[in-house]
Amino acid sequence: MANGWSLIIGLVFIIVFSAVAWFVSPKGENQTVWRSSLILSAWSCFIMWAITFLAQWHPLIEPRRNDLRAHAG
């Protein structure tokens, strides 16, 4: 389901979102604030998500534990 393509799809989505946000931001004296805030928050969130995704894409270690009861997991 989720593999390397998600990153590309996410990136495309964010670019499209940014473009849309640029044009649909309400006109008026706060347009700049709307544009900057929408686009910046979209990118911040994307970067955060992408980093997390990348970190788990090819994990070098696996979860280990010894306190599990049978059939709990």
Partner 1 sequence: MAPHQDTLFRSADMSLTQLYIANEIGREVVSALGELGVMDFRDLNESTSAFQRTFTQEIRRLDNIERQLRYFHAQMDKASIPMRSIYEFDDANTLAATSASEIDELGDRSQSLENRVSSLNESYETLKKREVELTEWRWVLREAGGFFDRARGQTDEIRQSIDNDDAPLLRDVEQHAPQEETERSFSVMNIGFVAGVIPRERIAAFERILWRTLRGNLYMNQSEISEPIINPENNEEINKNVFVIFAHGKEIIAKIRKISESLGADLYSVDENSDLRRDQIHEVNTRLDDLKSVLRNTKQTLDAELTAIGRSLAAWMVIIKKEKSVYQTLNKFSYDQARKTLIAEAWCPTSSLGLIKSTLQDVNDRAGLSVPTIVNQIKTSKTPPTYVKTNKFTLAFQTIIDAYGTAKYQEVNPGLPTIITFPFLFAVMFGDFGHGCIMTLAAVAMIYWERPLSRGKQDELFAMAFYGRYIMLMMGIFSMYTGLIYCDAFSKELAIFPSMWEWPEDFQPGEMIVATRKKGYTYPFGMDWKWHDTDNDLLFSNSYKMKLSILMGWAHMTFSLCWSFVNARHFKSPIDIWGNFLPGMIFFQSIFGYLVFAIIYKWSVDWYAVGKSPPGLLNMLIYMFLQPGDVGDTPLYNGQGTVQVILLLLAVICVPILLFLKPLYLRREHNKARALGYRGIGETARVSAHDDDDEDGTLNGNRESFADDEDGVALITQDIGAGEEHEEFEFSEEMIHQVIHTIEFCLNCVSHTASYLRLWALSLAHQQLSIVLWDMTLNIAFGMSGVVGIIATVCLFYLWFVLTVFVLCIMEGTSAMLHSLRLHWVEAMSKHFIGDGIPFEPFSFKVLLEEEPVE
Q: Report the interface residues with partner 1, using CB under 8 A.
A: 1-4, 6, 29-33, 36-37, 40-41, 44-45, 47-49, 51-70, 73
Residue 70 CA, chain-centre distance (Å), reads 35
* Least spacing, CB of residue 68 vs partner 1, in Å: 6
* Least spacing, CB of residue 53 vs partner 1, in Å: 7
C-alpha distances in Å from residue 46, one per residue of 26, 31, 32, 62:
23, 22, 21, 25
Sign of CA dihedral 48, 53, 54, 60: positive
Closer to partner 1 by Cβ: residue 24 or 52:
52
* Least spacing, CB of residue 19 vs partner 1, in Å: 18
